[in-house]
Structure 1
Amino acid sequence: MPIQLTDIWRYPVKSCRGERLSEALVEPWGLAGDRRWMVVDSAGAPVTAREYPDLVLVTPRLGGDSIRLTAPGLPELTVPVPPATALVPVSVWNSDLVAAQACDEASEWLGKIIGEPVRLVYLDDPTRRATNPAYSRPGDRVSLADAYPLLLTSRESLAALNDWILEGPRFAEGPLPMTRFRPSVVVAGAPAWAEDGWRRVRIGEVTFRVAKGCDRCVLTTVDPDTAVKGKEPLVTLSRHRRWDGKVWFGVQLIPDAPHPGAPGEPIAVGAPVTVLE
């Protein structure tokens, strides 16, 4: 069975609900429109669903020069893209950079979800942030995603994980949907866990380097439909997929092309996936 691209997801606001797409443009720093917005605290550090699970209930939708936010119990809010003159310092893990601060209305709206003061920022220039040089090349860039431009997961690997979960104790939570893992691209047609050994892949006409496996955090325990926290998949991954002191699901991708300044290249659901190395 040939390997195919089955799903494309983008996440306009870091830690908020994703958007399922039939096609997307691959830019050097990720899918077009993916994680260019982020909620931050007063120090500019990310505010995420790891600590505030209700963020997964916020649904963002991109407009041409704005973003529309909806959430249970709150009125819809349209936030204009802030000007590049409104730059403030922010951080993502070990990266320090600047981003444009959105309007006060966005801060107030999101503060009602978080329960404390926050701000919404927009990465107006995605060339500002480099990827981890230990697993990438000079010139590689990433948006406000945790580490790398795209995350690839496999339907077969999820099926194997769900089998393990269902073999566990009676109170085990499962089966889990792929949305727990917040992938950019999902593939099908390869054996479970085959992606662990991939080094270069082509999706449609776009070639990617596999930077590294993806170590998983507590965000995967948050139900994306209810914001309720559980214990899976980390309990089961710890039994079956633990090494180097971490648990693993999926692999991180860096586009080989286009280069910064070049237009994005398209991918679409149903595209063939070729393992080059």
Structure 2
Amino acid sequence: MAEIIGVVERLWRYPVKSTCGERLDSVEVDERGLAGDRLYAVRDGQGKFGSGKNTRRFRRMDGLLRLGSRLGHRIDAPVLLDPLGSPVADPTSFLRAYLGRDDVELAREDAVSHFDQLPVSVLTTATLDWVRHTVPTAVVDERRFRPNILLRTPPGTPPFVEDTWFGHQARVRGGLQLAFVRASERCVMTGVAQPGLPHAPEILKAIAQHHDNRLDALAEVTHPGPLRVGDTLSLTG
């Protein structure tokens, strides 16, 4: 029998990787993830994508999290927002001036994925409340952790309940099915300042100390479908 694990409280999409995202009321989800999520990125002359860390695919570019992005109804027309929230007319020219680099451009995903790991991130209110309680000096909300889905869990749900979902599938009544695989390994992005959220490095320290630097549930999409705020997510096996 299916077990209800929560209700979708908020949906987030991040059209340009490593910028602030946009809240949605509904979205189509396919094998790649939420439509338009991380579809664009800031790419440098070596083909690396702007991020909060340096890896084989990513280049740390400080300041991106002070920018915003949205898609609206046109996936082929991303809107980049400056630190004051105003749309930028020429994203590539703006990024070159803003970052002080003449080799960057706003690029659409092609053969190399823009995702750090898996396409869908789910975070529960139970775990988010734990962060607030554990780090009372910080301003905490889900934007620190960049989930796609903030899931409202029943009263009494323990923090890190997401860990119990790994290896299981969940579904939404409209047909969407997710397979939970593992948690995200967190980096300095959790404490980086962004609009409305001041610098808070103590958040990452707490997660590292209490939960092996991991937080959320990452999932693959096993069956596409629509997703809406208010949908119930049920664990099926």
Determine whether 1:55 maps to 2:64: yes
Q: 2:17 touches 2:38 (CA, 8 Å); kept in 1?
A: yes
Determine whether 1:219 maps to 2:189: yes
Q: In structure 1, what is the equivalent of residue 218 of structure 2?
A: 252
Secondary structure of 1:230's counterpart equals coil
State how far apart, in whole Å, the 2-side matches of 1:227 and 1:122 are.
28
- Of 99, 114, 139, the residue aligned with 2:99 is 114
Q: Which amino acid aligns with 1:120?
A: L
Q: How does 1:229-268 map to 2 (within 5 A)?
A: 229-242=199-212, 247-258=213-224, 265-268=225-228
State how far apart, in whole Å, the 2-side matches of 1:225 and 1:188 are.
24
Q: In structure 1, what is the equivalent of residue 11 of structure 2?
A: 8
Q: How does 1:114-133 map to 2 (within 5 A)?
A: 114-117=99-102, 118-123=104-109, 128=111
Q: Return the index of the structure with the highest Cα Rg.
A: 1
Runs of 4+ aligned structure 1 residues displaced above 4 Å come to none
Q: 2:11 touches 2:149 (CA, 8 Å); kept in 1?
A: yes
Q: In structure 1, what is the equivalent of residue 151 of structure 2?
A: 187
Q: How does 1:27-106 map to 2 (within 5 A)?
A: 27-50=30-53, 51-62=60-71, 64=74, 65-72=76-83, 76-78=87-89, 105-106=90-91
Percent sequence identity is 26
Q: 2:139 touches 2:198 (CA, 8 Å); kept in 1?
A: no
State how far apart, in whole Å, the 2-side matches of 1:22 and 1:207 are.
19
Mind listing any 5+ residue stretches in structure 2 that lack a counterpart?
54-59
Deviation at 1:77, TM superposition (A): 2.8
State how far apart, in whole Å, the 2-side matches of 1:203 and 1:212 are.
20
State how far apart, in whole Å, the 2-side matches of 1:158 and 1:77 are.
33
Q: In structure 1, what is the equivalent of residue 57 of structure 2?
A: none
Deviation at 1:121, TM superposition (A): 0.7
Secondary structure of 2:92's counterpart equals helix
- Of 190, 193, 201, the residue aligned with 2:170 is 201
Q: 2:41 touches 2:106 (CA, 8 Å); kept in 1?
A: yes
Deviation at 1:251, TM superposition (A): 1.0
Secondary structure of 2:37's counterpart equals coil
Q: 1:58 touches 1:71 (CA, 8 Å); kept in 2?
A: yes
Deviation at 1:66, TM superposition (A): 1.6
Q: In structure 2, what is the equivalent of residue 102 of structure 1?
A: none
- The two structures have a TM-score, normalised by structure 2, of 0.84
State how far apart, in whole Å, the 2-side matches of 1:216 and 1:27 are.
25
State how far apart, in whole Å, the 2-side matches of 1:73 and 1:33 are.
23
State how far apart, in whole Å, the 2-side matches of 1:234 and 1:268 are.
30
1:154-200 Cα offsets, whole Å, 9 max, x none, are: 0111101221113xxxxxx3241110000001111251211111021
Mind listing any 5+ residue stretches in structure 1 that lack a counterpart?
79-104, 130-142, 167-172, 259-264
1:84-131 Cα offsets, whole Å, 9 max, x none, are: xxxxxxxxxxxxxxxxxxxxx4322101221212121102x5xx45xx
State how far apart, in whole Å, the 2-side matches of 1:37 and 1:221 are.
23
State how far apart, in whole Å, the 2-side matches of 1:66 and 1:44 are.
21
- The two structures have a TM-score, normalised by structure 1, of 0.72
Q: 1:57 touches 1:226 (CA, 8 Å); kept in 2?
A: no
Q: 1:53 touches 1:222 (CA, 8 Å); kept in 2?
A: no
Deviation at 1:266, TM superposition (A): 0.6
How many residues align? The count is: 219
Q: Which moved more, 1:12-21 or 1:157-166?
A: 157-166
